[in-house]
Amino acid sequence: MATPRIKSAQDFKIEAIEALKGQLDCYVLEEEKRAVQASLERVEAIQTMRTPDKPERLTYSVPEAAMVVGISKASMYTIANRQDFPKIRLGTKIVIPIKEFEQWISDEAMREAQQWQEG
């Protein structure tokens, strides 16, 4: 009859590391799932904005523009209140012309690229 093996401290460390590794893998997978879900929600929102049975949209609301760009509503409101940002105020509501918004984004990207190259 074989005597049972007594676990060493090293064995316990290895088991603990393996358990933590499994937990970390689960956490990483959950974070990846959340990121994919957020991307799918953005795509779905964009698709519902431009369906064949509706006329083409001319403007975004600030929350819609935030979703399209992938930033928070608060950040988008901060940007929308800039002097150089294309917007139309309708009473207290701000709407963003889509074509001008896309052009503004392109211009901002070019401006940042030039600044990066210069300095």
The span from the CA of 72 to the CA of 9, in Å, is 48
Q: CB of 94 within 8 A of CB of 88?
A: yes
In this predicted model, what pLDDT tens digit does every residue of 29-64 receive, in sequence order? Answer: 777 777 777 777 777 776 666 666 777 889 999 999
In this predicted model, what pLDDT tens digit does every residue of 69-113 receive, in sequence order? Answer: 999 999 999 999 999 999 999 999 999 999 999 999 999 889 888
Per-position b or e across 59-87, b if 16+ CB within 10 A of its CB: bbebebbbbbeeeeeeebeebbeeeebeb
